[in-house]
């Protein structure tokens, strides 16, 4: 071995450890904490997306309740009686004179939660003799119930068992008053 080769060998780094085998200098707890914080932020963003979606779905439902209320109360004040029970898909001819179809058609079209709308005087969670607008979602799941609970906060007292708007597992019911 000559002197030049010896100097060259000494000038090289002492270890020839491949990059694949090298240990990361950051501590393991630091990397785990960073990953957990990132996962928590992603989880919060997804949850916030669902909450915003539910709040945006409430406005069309509230609009249906508000729009159908006016012709029904007008009918009650002029005829001194509430109309017979009916489904919003087939309202009576008497209600057409009060603009019920026009008032409800657009707001029902904007509603993105499918379901059955109806008016009843003697059935529903409010009891007999109380005029009630009932919305029964096609799929009674946690998502539609959450939207109905938000709607209860917007239209009434926010408590599903009390007030003029009641929420059960299957439906949302809004009681009308003479005004």
Which one has a higher pLDDT value, 127 or 41?
41
- pLDDT-above-90 percentage for the chain: 31
Closest CA to 85 of 40, 41, 134: 134
Global pTM reads 0.74
The 10s digit of each residue's pLDDT in 71-95 is: 998 999 999 999 988 998 888 888 8
Beta strands in 56-171 (DSSP E): 86-87, 115-120, 132-137, 165-167
pLDDT in the model for residue 140: 84
Q: What is the pLDDT of residue 38?
A: 97
Tell me what percent of the residues of the chain surpass a pLDDT of 70. Answer: 90
Q: Which two tokens stand for residue 169?
A: 């597992």
- Residue 49 has a pLDDT of 94
Question: At which residue do the structure tokens 């090298």 appear?
Answer: 22
Q: Whole-number mean pLDDT of the chain?
A: 85
152 has pLDDT over 80? yes
Which pLDDT band holds residue 4 (cuts at 50, 70, 90)? low
CA Rg value for the chain: 32
* CA-closest candidate to residue 152, choices 173, 123, 128, 127: 173
Work out the number of other CB atoms within 10 angstroms of the CB of residue 175. Answer: 17
Q: Determine the straight-line distance between the first and last CA of the chain, rounded to whole angstroms.
A: 109
């Amino acid at each position: 071995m000559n002197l030049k080769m010896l100097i060259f060998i000494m000038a090289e780094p002492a270890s020839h450890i491949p990059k694949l085998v090298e240990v990361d200098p950051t501590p393991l707890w630091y990397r785990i904490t960073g990953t957990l914080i990132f996962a928590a932020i992603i989880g919060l963003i997804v949850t916030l997306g669902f909450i915003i979606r539910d709040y945006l779905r409430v406005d069309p439902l509230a609009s249906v309740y508000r729009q159908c209320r006016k012709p029904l109360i007008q009918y009650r004040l002029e005829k001194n009686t509430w109309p017979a029970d009916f489904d919003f898909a087939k309202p009576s001819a008497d209600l057409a004179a009060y603009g019920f179809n026009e008032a409800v058609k657009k707001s029902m079209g904007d509603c993105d939660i499918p379901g059955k709308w109806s008016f009843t005087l003697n059935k529903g969670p409010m009891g007999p003799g109380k005029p009630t607008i009932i919305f029964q979602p096609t799929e009674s799941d946690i998502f539609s119930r959450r939207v109905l609970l938000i709607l209860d906060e917007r239209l009434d007292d926010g408590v599903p068992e009390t007030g003029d708007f009641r929420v059960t597992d299957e439906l949302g019911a809004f009681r009308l008053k003479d005004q």
